[in-house]
Homo-oligomer: A and B are copies of this chain.
Amino acid sequence: MDYFFYPKSVAIFGSFRKGSIAREILRNVVEGGFEGKIIPVNPKGGEVEVAGRKFKVRERLDEGVDVSIIVIPAKLVPGLIRELKGLTKGAVVISAGFSEVGNVELEKELVEAAKEAGIRIIGPNCAGIFGVHGKFFGSFEVRVRPGGLALISQSGAFGGAALAMGNEEGVGFSAFVSYGNASDLDESDFLRYFADDPNTKVIALYIEGVKDGKKFMEALKYATSKKPVIILKAGKSKSGARAAQSHTGSLAGSYEIYKAVFKQTGAIEVEEMEELFDAAKAFEMYSRAGRRVAVVTNSGGPGVLATDKVERLGLEIAKLSDKTIEELKTFLPPQCSVKNPIDLIADADYDRYRRTIEVVCKDENVDSILVICVPPIFIPSEEIARAVIDAKCDKPIIVNFMAGELVRKGIKILEKEGIKNFPTPERAAKALYWLSSR
């Protein structure tokens, strides 16, 4: 499927007048810096200018491309697919108006045409795809930063909102696929593909229901054997399942069965959208972590909140070795608490943080470190960020800088180094929980 996510050439079929979806997609492809060939196609021909680049609109596709994005009226799609035989490897069908509104026959015709033409289909009724490391933004959704998360979404609108939220939350993406009606390629195919994609460190899946349970279970087993898979299953409650059915036509099936499958395959199920991002951020950084956590803080209260949450989640507050405690005492002021949670108190500076992290990291009783920083009064948060970055430590470090304006610069420096911030002590603790749940 590399031709979908790392294409060398793309054709876009649709209307390119201002405000049209095809034009928005063309704009995204151009502005996203796609380096391959870009061919807009419309029987009426003409010209289109987006983002300062002028394109001749071809009346028909007359040379081979890797991927075609199709935004034309539903009833014309099967015919176009037949015409594209030998001219495109894959087609992303954005157009709606197929099985989701009862046009089951039209969708069947599309699938048969594609099979005959040897073309693989994503969609129809989808929001498109991103191959972020191939600089290919084949969707009208907001573009995202490159990173390790491949997001697979049954709901296009959920996907779009999730991309925008991911940008806010500091997530980096390797790919996005909204697969709509899954007439040909489905969630299972994408799970397998991203399991082997070298740019993808973690896969997140939003599903309401799957059609082929056996295929799904095997794909999930395969994917989880390669990398973490996070799943947000919608339609769990009675009313939710009913709504999902009318939304994607998914027979949501018994949630208990899904739950069992997730557990059996080692997939990580999250309950909320926010958790999906927190888990993804954690797995972009680390593939797993043990259960014994050391908390390092410059403020008692938030340290206590983190500690409460760590234990509530079934993780352990690590018991520091005597050697560690002795070593900490050699350089920490006597008002500091050298018991875990380790309170470096309000005037903790670069040195105090860095040395503490390094000493604690060497302790065999410690699997991971949760570093909290509330705005120090006379020390810029950048300095504490530097300490976290510079500390020599080969164990997972999860960071909670809070809050607002006062720590923004520190968070920015961390992000530049690939260290993602979790906005509350509890969410940081939960990040460690996800990491230890594999």
User: Which A residues lie at the B interface, using CB under 8 A?
Assistant: 19, 21, 24, 101, 140, 142, 153-155, 157-158, 160-162, 164-165, 167-168, 206, 208, 232, 234-240, 242-244, 246-248, 271-274, 298-305, 307-312, 317, 335, 337, 339-341, 343, 346, 374-375, 377-378, 402-407, 423-427
List 19 interface pairs A-B (beta carbons < 8 Å), by A numbering: A21-B377, A24-B377, A101-B335, A142-B375, A142-B404, A142-B405, A142-B406, A157-B302, A165-B423, A167-B404, A206-B301, A232-B305, A237-B307, A240-B311, A242-B339, A247-B343, A272-B309, A273-B426, A274-B423
Nearest 7 A/B pairs, CB to CB: A155-B301, A247-B300, A157-B299, A158-B301, A164-B404, A237-B311, A165-B403
Q: Closest CB of chain B to A237's CB: distance in Å? A: 4
Q: Closest CB of chain B to A421's CB: distance in Å? A: 13
Whether A168 contacts B403 by the Cβ 8 Å rule is yes
Chain B residues near A302 (CB-CB < 8 A)? 155, 157-158, 161
Given contacts A164-B375, A305-B273, A426-B274, contact A337 B246 (CB under 8 A): yes
Chain B residues near A19 (CB-CB < 8 A)? 378
Give the interface SS of chain A, mostly helix, strand, loop or mixed.
Answer: helix
Whether B164 contacts A406 by the Cβ 8 Å rule is yes
Whether B337 contacts A404 by the Cβ 8 Å rule is no
Whether A165 contacts B404 by the Cβ 8 Å rule is yes
- A273 CA to B404 CA, complexed, in Å: 14
Question: Which of A271, A303, A425 has the most B CB atoms < 10 Å from its CB?
Answer: A303
Give the number of times this chain occurs in the complex, counting copies. 2
Residue of B nearest to A252 (CB): B304
Whether B378 contacts A165 by the Cβ 8 Å rule is no
Chain B residues near A346 (CB-CB < 8 A)? 157
Chain B residues near A271 (CB-CB < 8 A)? 312, 426
Whether A304 contacts B425 by the Cβ 8 Å rule is no
Residue of B nearest to A21 (CB): B377
Question: Which of A247, A340, A346, A425 has the most B CB atoms < 10 Å from its CB?
Answer: A247
Known: A101-B335, A165-B403, A240-B305. 9 other contacts (CB 8 A): A24-B377, A164-B404, A168-B404, A234-B305, A235-B308, A239-B311, A246-B300, A272-B424, A272-B426
Q: Closest CB of chain B to A276's CB: distance in Å? A: 10
- A142 CA to B377 CA, complexed, in Å: 11
Q: Closest CB of chain B to A206's CB: distance in Å? A: 7
Chain B residues near A317 (CB-CB < 8 A)? 239
Given contacts A164-B403, A377-B21, contact A237 B301 (CB under 8 A): no
